[in-house]
């Protein structure tokens, strides 16, 4: 893993952790409106960054599966036994 990739992964992890801190603070604390709005905006920035990184990773995975270009197919079994694909509408 090159240093740029490591730094990007570290940043992703830090943004995810910060987003969780923000969610916890907004849910648990009785904050003034201005502080709540500031945290909300910061949370939106963190979420947008993480979403972009996840979409990029998903795209890269879909490009090369087993050395061939194929769409990404993630299947999970839900509690009802119905397979679910990773193709969710945003």
Q: What is the pLDDT of residues 63-72, one digit of tens each?
A: 776 667 666 6
* CB 61 within 8 Å of CB 86: no
Predicted confidence (pLDDT) per residue in 5-57, tens digit = 778 789 999 999 999 999 999 998 789 999 999 999 999 999 999 999 999 88
- 39 contacts: CB under 8 Å, gap ≥ 6: 22, 25, 26, 31
Rg (CA), the chain: 17
- pTM (predicted TM-score): 0.64
Map out the domains of the chain with their CATH numbers: 3-69 (1.10.287)
Stronger pLDDT, 81 or 67, i.e. the higher one: 67
Q: Is 66 strand, coil or helix?
A: coil
């Amino acid at each position: 893993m090159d240093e740029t990739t490591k730094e990007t992964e570290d940043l992703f992890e830090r943004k995810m952790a910060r987003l969780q801190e923000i969610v916890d603070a907004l849910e648990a604390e009785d904050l003034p409106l201005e502080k709540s709005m500031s945290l909300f905006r910061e949370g939106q920035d963190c979420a947008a960054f993480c979403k972009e990184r996840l979409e990029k990773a998903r795209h890269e995975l879909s490009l090369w599966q087993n050395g061939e270009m194929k769409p990404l197919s993630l299947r999970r079994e839900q509690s009802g036994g119905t397979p679910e694909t990773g193709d969710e509408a945003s």
